[in-house]
A and B are shown apart, each in its own frame.
Chain A
Amino acid sequence: MSRKKNRVAFLLLLAALLLQYGCITSPVAVTSSTTPVNDKKIVMNYGPVQGTHRVWSVFGLWMVGRPDIDLAIQDALKKKGGDALINVSCYQKTSWFFFVSENKVVVEGEAVSFDAGSLEKDRGKQTIKSKK
């Protein structure tokens, strides 16, 4: 009898878990690149990469921190290297569990490296300005 009770309780708990779980994905942006590439020469394409950054919400009401797109880009670039992403798409995923929800920003694109000369030129410009 007690085994039957336990089984019913387990099934109820499983049903509750399934009912409490939810997920939604919303598109954020599509862009050609994360940084202007007009004056830069792409020397290497590392292929598609994906980066994420996630934060948690208490009861789905109070978010602790914020989903940071910068960290997601850095995460993507860390995987294969590169200076920037091209053909970028970005979306946000929210999943609800019992008492918490997960907010995740996902960045997808192709990691590329620029010609070192154009990057140095950029850095040089920055130095010139900061000296003033």
Chain B
Amino acid sequence: MSSWIPTMHRWNKKIHGIAGLAGNKPWRRCIAVIAALLCLGMYSGCLYKGVRVTGLESHAKVMEGKTYHILGEAEGTSSSFNLLWILPVTPRIDYDRAVNEAINSLRGDNLINVRAWFERQVWIIGMVEILHVKGTVIQYER
């Protein structure tokens, strides 16, 4: 039994992969943690996820009347997918489509207090782009 102990000590001192990097030195431990986090992120399949604000407007379409009813908040989206990041397999993202989706969800006429943002997700098999448009749906008084 006593002959095992020096062998175990020697084995413990050896470096084995990423886990082995986490030795006594703090910078090694730091690198090991970073590498482990990167591996964990990549393992999910998502290589990149980012959001960019793209618009802020008082209204999406020309105001056809001065008096209107507020129907409520709504959000519309338009998305596209690029196979292997460069080959488009669906129609491109369309601002009008997103606006109309938001308006039609509450059967209104226009969208006011408009905020738009663009989301991009890069996966191993391709890239997803989503345009979000959010605002207050209104209906003109007739």
Q: List chain A residues, Cβ under 8 A from B46.
A: 62
Q: Is the CB of B117 within 8 A of A69?
A: yes
Q: Is A6 an interface residue (CB 8 A)?
A: no
Q: List chain A residues, Cβ under 8 A from B50.
A: 57, 63, 103
Of the candidates B47, B66, B115, the one whose C-beta lies within 8 Å of that of A69 is: B115
Of the candidates A29, A58, A122, A125, the one whose C-beta lies within 8 Å of that of B56 is: A29
Q: Is B92 an interface residue (CB 8 A)?
A: no
Q: Is the CB of B41 within 8 A of A69?
A: no
Stretch of A15-23, A33-41, A42-50 that contacts chain B? A33-41
Docked complex Cα distance between A122 and B53 (Å): 28
Q: Beyond A125-B68, A129-B139, is A66–B51 a contact (Cβ under 8 Å)?
A: yes
Stretch of B4-12, B17-25, B57-65 that contacts chain A? B57-65
Q: Is the CB of A35 within 8 A of B56?
A: no
Interface string of A107-132 (1 = CB under 8 A from B): 10000000000000010011011000
CB-contacts of B7-55 with A (<8 A):
34, 37-38, 41, 46-55
Q: Beyond A35-B112, A129-B71, is A69–B56 a contact (Cβ under 8 Å)?
A: yes
Q: Is the CB of B48 within 8 A of A61?
A: yes
Residue of B nearest to A88 (CB): B56
Q: Is the CB of A59 within 8 A of B38?
A: yes
Q: List chain B residues, Cβ under 8 A from A32.
A: 58
Q: Is the CB of B55 within 8 A of A62?
A: no
Q: Is A12 an interface residue (CB 8 A)?
A: no
Docked complex Cα distance between A33 and B58 (Å): 6
Q: Which residues of B contact A (CB under 8 A)?
A: 34, 37-38, 41, 46-59, 63, 66-71, 112-113, 115, 117, 119, 134, 139
Q: Which residues of A contact B (CB under 8 A)?
A: 26, 28-29, 31-39, 55, 57-59, 61-63, 66-67, 69-70, 88, 90, 92, 99, 103, 105, 107, 122, 125-126, 128-129
Can you offer 19 A-B residue contacts whose CB atoms are under 8 A? A28-B53, A28-B55, A29-B55, A32-B58, A34-B56, A36-B59, A36-B112, A39-B66, A55-B51, A58-B41, A59-B37, A59-B38, A61-B41, A61-B47, A63-B50, A69-B53, A69-B117, A88-B56, A129-B69
